[in-house]
Amino acid sequence: MALRGARAPCSTSPRRPSSRGLQSLSDKLDALLGPEQRRFAEQMDEIVVGDRFGQPDHAEQRALIETLTDACADRVTLSLTYRTSRGGETTRRVDPYKLWLHRGTAYLVAHCHLRQAIRTFSVARIAAAEPTDATFAAPTHFDFDRYVEQRFRICGDGHPTPLTLWFAPEVAPDLRERTWHPTQHLEPAADGAVTLTMTVDGLQEVAAWLLSFGPRARVLSPATLAAEVQSQLRAALAGYETTPPPSELTPDVRGT
């Protein structure tokens, strides 16, 4: 059952949320499946569908992903060329621990020799990965499950923070129907609103998530998160205040 479940995220069907670049993982898993299990997995590819909205396309990174998975398995140190979010490039050595598939997007969790700390690298931003002659021992100090469970999504600074968030009655059902974090606790109010408490690492991602609810969500604590939300709201408002209203835009700008 675990192998069949692992194969599904690697499917290359255009209906699947995952990328074609993960085909090499699917091929390796297929080789471990018996005929009945393979037929079942293929049937699941036809039945279970998803979308790829907002997900990177790893289609051209098949060789890279195979290099990463082999390095994780063989514990080989890599020389990694990585594109930063600001457009620059850095080259560093990393000890790859895990290839992490999160919501259809691939990440490499590795010990970074440059930063002397564990870092999460977006595979889409890896320009090159070359195996070195160096190897590393299996990390005894690193608990991957704990590493990812502390985070709200991907980013984090290693300092989980207790949060208390308020949500309006109209979005409360959506809050109750989902698990947002392993530490979450939901407290319903008499008016239908709900208070969500959890302890997470990665406040910037929490702020971005809260903004998607508009005025139907509010930070009760901590003050640092409330300030981050306010800062992002001010920046967004400033952008609208300096942009002409739609009636003043040229047809080319409006895309018509």
> How is domain 59-149 classified at the CATH fold level?
SH3 type barrels. (2.30.30)
What confidence tier does 87 reach under pLDDT thresholds 50, 70, 90?
A: confident
Decide: 102 and 94 in contact? Cβ < 8 Å. no
Tell me: pLDDT of 93 over 70.
Answer: yes
Model pLDDT for residues 123-147, shown as the tens digit of each residue? 999 999 999 999 999 888 889 988 8
Model pLDDT for residues 149-184, shown as the tens digit of each residue? 888 988 887 789 999 999 999 999 999 999 999 999
What does the buried/exposed string (b/e) look like for 214-231 if buried means 16 or more CB atoms within 10 Å of the residue's CB? eebbebeeeeebeebbee
Tell me: pLDDT of 223 over 90.
Answer: yes
Model pLDDT for residues 34-82, shown as the tens digit of each residue? 777 777 777 777 776 666 666 666 667 889 999 999 999 999 999 999 9
Tokens of 136: 């590393």
Q: What is the pLDDT of residue 56?
A: 67
Q: What is the pLDDT of residue 6?
A: 44
Q: What is the pLDDT of residue 218?
A: 97
Tell me: pLDDT of 190 over 90.
Answer: yes
Helix (H) or strand (E) holding 122: strand 117-122
Q: For tokens 């508009």, what's the residue?
A: 214
Dihedral sign computed on CA atoms, order 52, 148, 96, 207: positive
Q: What is the pLDDT of residue 148?
A: 85
Residue 113 CA neighbour count, 13 Å, CB half: 15
What confidence tier does 86 reach under pLDDT thresholds 50, 70, 90?
A: confident
3-state secondary structure of 76: strand
* DSSP characters over 191-206: TS-EEEEEEEB-HHHH
CA-wise closest residue to 60 among 97, 22, 33, 87: 22
Q: What is the pLDDT of residue 47?
A: 75
Q: For tokens 């109209």, what's the residue?
A: 170
Tell me: pLDDT of 99 over 60.
Answer: yes
Residue ranges covered by each domain of the chain: 2-47, 59-149, 161-241
The pTM for the full model equals 0.69
- Mean pLDDT calculated for residue range 212-227: 96
Which tops the pLDDT comparison, 244 or 110?
110
